[in-house]
Chains A and B, each alone.
Chain A
Amino acid sequence: MFARLNLRTEVLQSYAFVARNFNLIKRYWGWELVWLAYSTATSLAVVFIGEGSALITGAEDIDTSYFVLYLLLGTLVWGFLSGLFNDISEMIQWERWEGTIEYTLMAPVHRFTQIIGQAGFAVLHSLLFTMTIGVAMIIFFSLDLSDANLFGALLVLLAGSLSLVSLGVMASILPLLYTERGTQMTHIVQAFLLLISGVYYPIEVLPSVLQTLARVSPVYYVLNGIRSAVLEGTPTSELWGYIVPLLIIGVVGMPLGVWVFRQAELYAKRHGKLKRVG
């Protein structure tokens, strides 16, 4: 199946998705701004929990700035990963809504190529988006990041992207299988990841069943790796314990995602689920 890939063509085809999506953002810039404002506000709301921790609990020996940074990393990483997941999992939903899905699936494009294009866009988009919020927050709370290993954190984040892409691809097929309710179902996947992965708390507070699940959630490794790099300043050479599991999940997940997607496509073509009108 992947044997006779013509690299130049595949690159051009992947780029088709990147360019198309950035064109869409350009046209829907108002919506992008609204989303930015919304995300900033929710991030702020979470981080203020840290600011208020002494007031809430009455305890005086809380390291507030550590707590604030802990929560901030949680909200930013989650913002990045869920944004990435959204961009990928919406790739079918959006085209169904526009009615273009038949034209995209009719084109001579390998699904792998399509997913690479879509993923490339999603990583760039989410990274720009999250960095905008992150910089605003760092200024707002005047945080000191001089000891943080930001490069290591970025490496962990990129390794994590790979595995989130494959999760997103698997979720993206839901609208193909369940024509009406598919998108809502991807939200359930997200809510569950948020619950188990320790975004705002250590997973040790969770019931043991959920703790076990957390250990297979890529989000868990991303958060731990980034917190370790930024909060403790762990050098990159010691971050492999986080990066390697993420790469493994990603490398196993990608072909699996492509395969699952292909099965859903065949199902849709057998049962007439792509059709719109005419």
Chain B
Amino acid sequence: MKAAIDRNQDALNVRNVTKRFKVSKPPFWTRWRAQKGATGNGSTASGGRGGDAGMQGVVAIGGVSLDVHRGEIYGILGPNGSGKSTLVRMLSTLLIPDEGQVLVFGLDVVRHEMEVKRVINRVSVDAAFFKKLSPLENLLYGARLYGMTGGEARRKSIDILGRLGLEARSYTQPMDEMSRGMQQKVAIARAFLTQPILLLLDEPTTGLDPRSKYEVQEFVNELRDCHDATILITTHDMGEADRLCDRIAILDEGRIVAEDTPAGLKRLIRRNGHEPTLEDVFMQLTGKKLSGAEEFDPEPVEVAN
């Protein structure tokens, strides 16, 4: 069967996707001791979101659906552990969903893995590289995996690294001699290099200085405008999300609690006094346990979808 990417379809359809992880059990002697203790005072040893002691597990993503249209910059915000990276990994074929389906330009990421892989790339918050190799050597390796020749890869790498403001002398020195921010730029270059039409950015600017952040954001905009790329980005920088994203989903405990344009999200909450910021929205929608919650409008939020 021949399957092909259809550029006229949505860049991404996520349909009711769920992912659970088994939580590693504590060693049996700890469990035994805890059990012995529990008969005395009635407390239990099992923890985590749901599940009994035998099938302990955590629901990292619980029934998420979303659509990203071609050419959009789509943001995902959410607290630590809300499932952003898990979702991004499922979109990039690194995790297989337990339930539901992910389509990239109309192709199922599990059934048409290879076709999907050719058109996507991902930047994650940890810039993972062969640490003793230089940026150029790492980028050459990455580009060759996507079928580029050495010469072409070298030319493009130098171009992108320069655009990201990396000094030429560091191109050939080992990665582990570079600062975290510089490594992150090389990670971004690695993804841009293969000209993905769907780019998955998992906290790409975490750890970058303000100017570098700005450069990356500019580059993301340019990729979308000039290279017809669609971008899905997660970030903890509310200002960045506000500036960059056409639409934003807010994820909390593995579920989407709101999805709208930045302006639309802000309209969801009303504040007496000043204009709400995206940070206010984030706080209110994900902040059940926040003390002093009465500071916010107690009116229940209407979830747009």
Binding site for B on A (CB under 8 A): 6, 8-9, 12-13, 15-16, 19-20, 23-24, 27-28, 98-100, 102-110, 266, 269-272, 274-278
Closest to B132 in A: A27
The residue of chain A having its C-beta at the shortest distance from the C-beta of B206 within the complex is: A278
Question: Would you give the shortest CB distance from B15 to chain A, in whole angstroms?
Answer: 19
Segment with Cβ contacts to A, from B66-74, B85-93, B216-224, B245-253: B85-93
User: CA separation between A194 and B133, bound complex, in Å?
Assistant: 34
Residues of A within 8 A of B89 (CB): 102, 275
Q: Is the CB of A102 within 8 A of B22?
A: no
Inter-subunit contact B96/A266 (CB<8 Å): yes
Q: By DSSP majority rule, is chain A's interface helix, strand, loop, or mixed? A: helix
**Contact status B132-A103, CB under 8 Å:** no
On whether the beta carbons of B93 and A106 are closer than 8 Å, the reply is yes
> B131 to chain A: which residues have CB within 8 Å?
98
- A278-B126 in contact (CB<8A): yes
B residues within 8 A CB of A28? 132
Contact assessment for B96 and A20 in the assembled complex, using a CB-CB cutoff below 8 Å: no
Please name all residues of chain B whose beta carbon is closer than 8 Å to the beta carbon of A13 when the two chains form the complex. 144-145, 147
- CB nearest neighbor in B for A27: B132
Name the A residues within 8 Å of B96 (CB-CB). 266, 269-270
Known contacts A100-B129, A106-B92; A278/B124 CB under 8 A: yes
Interface residues on B, range: 35 or more
Whether a CB of chain A sits under 8 angstroms from the CB of B94 is yes
Report the tally of A-B residue pairs with Cβ distances under 8 A: 100
Shortest C-beta distance, A94 to chain B (Å), equals: 9
A87 and B174 alpha carbons, distance in the complex (Å): 22
CB contacts (< 8 Å) of A24 on chain B: these are: 130, 132-133
Nearest B residue to A94, CB-CB: B130
B147 & A12 in contact (Cβ 8 Å cutoff): yes
26 contacts between A and B (CB under 8 A): A6-B147, A12-B144, A12-B149, A13-B145, A16-B144, A19-B140, A19-B141, A20-B133, A24-B132, A27-B174, A98-B129, A100-B129, A100-B130, A102-B94, A104-B145, A108-B114, A108-B146, A266-B96, A271-B22, A276-B126, A276-B128, A277-B124, A277-B126, A278-B124, A278-B202, A278-B203
Tell me, in angstroms, the Cα distance from A28 to B174 when the chains sit together: 11
User: Is B214 an interface residue, CB under 8 A from the partner?
Assistant: no
Does B32 make an interface contact (CB < 8 A)?
Answer: no
| B133 pairs with A19, CB closer than 8 A | no
Assembled-state Cα–Cα distance A19/B144 (Å): 10
Q: How far is the CA of A274 from the CA of B174 in the complex (A)?
A: 25
Instruction: Give the residue of A16, A98, A99, A274 whose beta carbon is less than 8 angstroms from that of B94.
Output: A274
Are B94's CB and A269's CB within 8 A?
yes
Residues in A neighbouring B124, C-beta threshold 8 A: 102, 277-278
Tell me how far the C-beta of A1 lies from the nearest C-beta in chain B, rounded to whole angstroms: 9
B128 (CB) vs chain A CBs: closest residue: A99
Residues of A within 8 A of B94 (CB): 102, 105-106, 269, 274-275
10 residue pairs, one from A and one from B, having the closest CB atoms: A99-B128, A16-B144, A107-B145, A108-B117, A27-B132, A278-B125, A9-B147, A20-B141, A277-B126, A108-B118
Contact of B145 among A6, A16, A277 (CB under 8 A): A16
CB of B166 within 8 Å of the partner chain: no
- Check B117–A106 contact: CB distance below 8 A: yes
Residue among B122, B129, B133, B203 having the largest count of chain A Cβ atoms under 10 Å? B133
